[in-house]
Amino acid sequence: MSDGWNNERADPVAIGGQRTTRAERRRAAQRERIKRRRRVALLSLIVVFLVVIGGVLWTVRGSLFGGGSAPEDYASGQAGPEVVVHIVGQNNSDFAQNLVDAGVVKSVGAFNQAAGDKPISAGYYELRKSLPASEVVTMLVDPARSHRVGMLNVSAGAVLDDKRSKDNKVAQGIFSQLSAATAHTVDGVKKQTPKADFVRVASSASVADLGIPEWAAATVTRLKGDHRRIEGLIAPGIWDQIDPSGTPIGILKQLITASAKQYEAQGLLTASRTSPAKLAPYQVLVSASIVEREVNQADDYPKVARVILNRLAKDQKLEMDSTVNYGEAVTGIDVAGEKLLKKTEWNTYAKTGLPATPIGAVGTDALVATENPAPGPWLYFVTVDNKGTTLFTDDFAQHERNRQKACDTKFLTVGCGP
């Protein structure tokens, strides 16, 4: 007879305040075992995933930074032929890839390991193929920049043509410097764009092909056939992204376009034109180029700019020695004789108004001073010593006395009497 309990309900146990049977406990235990197996399987998958990811990261670290096994590198003494590499990018890993692609270094990891945190500049470099990464890094960080090509350093006041001083020293012009910047060797063959090619292109190419800004186009068009029509349109600065294998017209367009943006950023188009003369942007640049060449003290720039404006307002010849020197192959502080009478587009002793073009590259200080000339009545100025001391006046008799001071210091010798 039944005692009131069947097998399914035998041996009741209280769980959570309720009674349960053996069957129910078995089912609960089975569910718990399944949960444990699932947790173990999940943990196993996570461990496998972490091991795989760790291996990948270790491999990448070894490739980029030399961790783990040594990255592939070329042996010393097995250098190949010359090659020019344009190094571009945001970091040393980008630079390394440029070098790997050019066959200079064997791996990104070898280069990054050798470079460490050394600062490396983008630009064009003449290197050799199959070099050890450490040797390449030494070449790239060389302070003498002996492996750099395609670099041009234009100083304020620099002109296109070479100039010789009276003591027979030659100042290389921008065209000569550009030619030197294109010198490079590839596979044992030396290459260089002759200076004459830059002169020819500057003389003959169209305004559009040269990248001439609109505010200079009229003068450049009028002076076609004369390379000096682009004078002053290459601004001062270190231009370090010149492709040495580029065409002359392409290089000039790159420089002129970038220079126009630089001048405009310095206020050429937006500066107010101060009375009594209102100058157009190109005239501002021309005037600033005279300021650049006439004195060497930045504090005097705004005063010289005012002298130019005052003379233009009175229709008085500028009579600036710098404009005479611009047209001469041999230059000097003292200008006299037939040079003053030579009629050219630039000689302001022989013509009224501004020169046809700037007479050199215009630095920031000279340009800003011309855009913001000092107030004053001055019509004359003269530098009286080697320190650059310059005296200004609106009275010609006083100017003559000031000039005598320059004679007394031997700074000037021409027109100083017996």
Chain segment 88-119, per-residue pLDDT in tens: 998 999 999 999 999 999 999 999 999 998 99
Given this model, what pLDDT does residue 348 score?
95
384: left (phi over 0), alpha (psi -120 to 50) or beta: alpha
Residues 341-361: tens digit of each pLDDT: 788 999 999 999 999 999 999
Confidence of residue 55 (pLDDT cuts 50, 70, 90): low
Residues 280, 400 within the same domain: yes
Q: 139: which 2 tokens? A: 């070449």
Q: Tell me: do 333 and 313 sit in the same domain.
A: yes
Same domain, 169 and 258: yes
Same domain assignment for residues 324 and 355: yes
Query: What would the mean pLDDT of 166-173 be, rounded to a whole number?
Result: 86
Q: Is residue 55 part of a domain?
A: no
Q: Is residue 235 part of a domain?
A: yes
Dump pLDDT digits (tens) for 358-392.
999 999 999 999 999 999 999 999 999 999 999 99
Specify if 50 maps to a domain: no
pLDDT confidence bin for 325, thresholds 50/70/90? confident
Rounded mean pLDDT, 166-184: 93
**How far apart are the C-alpha atoms of 326 and 292, rounded to whole Å?**
13
- Same-domain pairing of 281 and 403: yes
- How many domains, the chain? 3
Give the amino acid at 249: I
| Average pLDDT score over residue span 244-273 | 93
Is 146 a member of any domain? Answer: no
The confidence score (pLDDT) of residue 164 equals 85
Q: What's the pLDDT score for residue 43? A: 73
Tell me the average pLDDT across 20-40: 71
Whether residue 283 sits in one domain with residue 352:
yes
Given a cut of 80, is residue 10 above it in pLDDT? no
Same domain, 136 and 188: no
Is residue 284 situated within a structural domain?
A: yes
Band (pLDDT 50/70/90 cuts) for residue 66 is very low
Domain membership flag for residue 358: yes
Burial of 385 from C-beta contacts in 10 A (0-12 / 13-18 / 19+): middle
**What's the whole-number mean pLDDT along residues 261-287?**
85
Q: Is 239 among the domain residues?
A: yes
Position 167 confidence tier, pLDDT thresholds 50, 70, 90: confident
Do 290 and 358 reside in the same domain of the chain? yes
pLDDT at 5: 34
Domain limit, last residue, from 214, 236, 264: 264
Q: 410 versus 341: which is more confidently predicted?
A: 410
The per-residue pLDDT of the chain, averaged, comes to 87
Question: Both 299 and 379 in a single domain?
Answer: yes
Give the residue-averaged pLDDT of 160-173: 88
Say if 19 falls within a structural domain: no
Per-residue pLDDT, 416: 80
> Is the overall model pTM greater than 0.95, yes or no?
no
Q: What is the pLDDT of residues 223-238, one digit of tens each?
A: 999 999 999 999 999 9
Let me know whether 376 and 357 are in one domain: yes
Cis peptide before 276 (omega within 30 of 0): yes
Radius of gyration of the chain (CA): 38
Q: DSSP for 364-403?
A: HHHHHHHHSPPP----EEEE-STT--EEEES-HHHHHHHH
pLDDT the model gives residue 4: 38
The domain of 174 spans 152-264
> Does the pLDDT of residue 39 top 90, yes or no?
no
Residues 203 and 245 in one domain: yes
CATH number of residue 112's parent domain? 3.30.1490
Q: If you ran DSSP here, which 8-state letter would residue 72 be given?
A: P
**pLDDT value, residue 13:** 45
Handedness of CA 86, 92, 97, 101 (dihedral sign): positive
Question: Which of 207, 239, 264 marks a domain boundary?
Answer: 264
My answer on whether 121 and 201 are in the same domain is: no
pLDDT reported for residue 328:
83
